[in-house]
Structures are given as structure tokens and as C-alpha cells.
Structure 1
Amino acid sequence: LAISIGTSHGAYKFKPEQCTRDPKTGKLVPPPLAFDVLHAIEQKLPGFPIVLHGSSSVPQDEVDTINAHGGKLPDAVGIPEEQLREASRSAVCKINIDSDSRLAMTAAIRKYFDEHPEHFDPRQYLKPARENMKKMYMHKIVDVLGSNDKL
């Protein structure tokens, strides 16, 4: 069952007016997910598998890298990782994070082209892009979703 508790597809999950701004960094702080809705569904459908679509955390380090190397992703913000951790401990058994993968790949490619403008061979720029995606997925699997060693 795919439920709506505040997630949304893409790198702009929330409009700026839905968020607050961190006074130190100026970055958007998203509203919390509606865990009360999740828990109510868990009680009404015990053991029923739940999916969260649009749950990328939109890693700010990747957004910063993209922006530093010619990208324009102002106010891109996602679901905080601690909320994804909480969701993964519930009946949620699938958390979709594709935008994080795209951001990791784009950040590595933009950085590579900025540092090596003479290169054009995809084998050159896709290698660091794949490595960056792998690093992001390992972090999510182990540190955020807790799904390592669960096959």
C-alpha cells in the first residue's frame, strides 16, 4: 500500500512556504512526515506492507556540489534521513529514493566536467558518477534504512 504522509517525487518535495529556514545556513527545513497517519494505518492493517514513494532525502552535499559546478537547484529539499530511519522501523518495507541517485550521479558528472572540460568520453565521467551513486546507496542501505543483511 502506497500511502501519502508528506512525501513527494523529485528534488523539490516542498514549497518554500511549507518549510522553515535554518537561520545559520539559510537552507529550508521541511515539515515532518505525518507519522500519526502511518501509525493509524498500521493499526487498521496490521502487518500490511507499506511503500513510501518520493522519499529521497535530497542530500544537501550533492545539491551544493551541483550548484557549485554550474547547476541551479535553489531550495531543493527532501525528507530528513532521521524520518526515513523512523519509517523503516515501521510497517514501511519499501522506500523510494531515486532522486537521491540522480543527484549523486549529476553532482559527480558536473564536478568532473568542471575539472576536466577537455574530456568527452563517457567512460571517463561515468566512472566517478557510478562510484558516487554506489557510495550514496551504501550509506542509505546501512546508515539510513537499516536494510543491510536482510536479504
Structure 2
Amino acid sequence: VEEHVTSAEHVYTDPDEAVDFVERTGCDSLAVAIGTSHGAYKFKGDAKLDFARLEAISDRLPGYPLVLHGASSVPQEFVELCNKYGGKVGGARGVPEEMLRKAAGMGVCKINVDTDIRLALTATIRQFFVEHPEQFDPRSYLAPAREAVKAMVAHKIRNVMGSSGKA
């Protein structure tokens, strides 16, 4: 029988073990567990990232590229747009962008936000089909969807990750 332990001490990254792992594997970057979670339905309450743990990891691995998986913000305007046009994305919540911005200033150099991108794409396509039911050519509905994805990615790069102009 597998035992599932839910305390932060057992599921979050241990700073000392992170150093040992990096030294033993020679990995190029390290995804750390500090409270993010995959999917659109992340939190039953408010998001809580363990910034003290992130600081401890960053202090032990100075300049080492850290990654946050499952760090989508789940922008409510896209949840609402998706639902307005037939979606059923109820109760979806993510990591507030200000928390991600703080993490980006503490050694995190890659933040995974796939759910946000998928929401922008899907909401835009749903809206298009309701407003243009006669359309069936993918070029017609994918053009605005691509623009929504482009805008989402530009926003994340500039305003959340702080990586604009650093390529």
C-alpha cells in the first residue's frame, strides 16, 4: 500500500537534497516543489508558495537555473470567456502573477504556464465559433486564437517573468 504524505516537509523540495541532486546528476536546471500544482484546478483555498524554501534553495545553488512547473495563473477573464461561449471550466484558480514575479526574482528562470496559453486559445476559438457559426476553415478560427496566444505569451514574458529583452 502506497502512503501519500501531504505535509510540505514531505512533498516540497528539501534545499539540501536539491544541492545533492544537482551535484550527483549534473542536470541543467532544477524544477522545485514550493507549492505550485499542475492543471487549472490547483487550490482549494488561496495559493501559497513557500518563498522561504525557494530562498534557501537559491542560496545553496547560487545562479543555478530553477524551474516552476504548474505555475499557470488561470486568468479569470479567459475562464469567463470560455464559459460564456459554452465551456464548463468551473472553479479554476491558479498562482497569482505577483507571486510568480516574486519567484522570478529569486532564482526561478523558467515558469511553466501551459494552462494559461490553452485557456486563451480555447476561449478565443469558442467565441469565434459562436459568433461565426458558418465558418469551418481552420485558418479563420486559428488566426484570432494565435493572436490570443501571442498576447498571453508577451504579457507573461514582459510582466510576470521579467524576461523581456534577455534572450
| Superposed pair shares fold, TM > 0.5 | yes
Structure 1 gap segments, 5+ residues each: 20-29
Query: Secondary structure, in 3 states, of the residue corresponding to 1:87?
Result: helix
Q: Quick check: 1:103 aligned with 2:103?
A: no
TM-score (norm: length of structure 2): 0.80
The aligned counterpart of 2:144 is 128
The aligned counterpart of 1:66 is 82
CA RMSD of aligned residues (A): 0.9
CA displacement, residues 93-131 of structure 1 (integer Å, 9 cap, x when unaligned)? 111111111000001000001111111110110000000
Q: Distance in 2 between matches of 1:146 and 1:104?
A: 20
| Pairing 1:72-151 to 2, within 5 Å after superposition | 72-151=88-167
Query: Secondary structure, in 3 states, of the residue corresponding to 1:93?
Result: strand
Q: Distance in 1 between matches of 2:60 and 2:153?
A: 32
Q: Quick check: 1:8 aligned with 2:37?
A: yes
- 1:144 offset after TM fit, Å? 1.2
Q: Distance in 2 between matches of 1:68 and 1:6?
A: 30
8 Å contact 2:47–2:94 — kept in the other structure? no
Structure 2 gap segments, 5+ residues each: 1-29
Seq. identity, %? 59
Q: Distance in 1 between matches of 2:68 and 2:159?
A: 18
- 1:32 offset after TM fit, Å? 2.0
CA displacement, residues 28-60 of structure 1 (integer Å, 9 cap, x when unaligned)? xx2221111101111222222110001111111
Q: Distance in 2 between matches of 1:138 and 1:67?
A: 24
What amino acid is aligned across from residue 119 of structure 1 in structure 2? Q
The aligned counterpart of 1:56 is 72
Query: Secondary structure, in 3 states, of the residue corresponding to 2:31?
Result: coil
Q: Which has the higher contact order (CA 8 A, sep 6+)?
A: 1
Q: Distance in 2 between matches of 1:143 and 1:2?
A: 21
The aligned counterpart of 1:36 is 52
TM-score (norm: length of structure 1): 0.88
What amino acid is aligned across from residue 38 of structure 1 in structure 2? L
Q: Distance in 2 between matches of 1:72 and 1:37?
A: 36
Q: How many residues align?
A: 138
Q: Distance in 2 between matches of 1:31 and 1:69?
A: 28
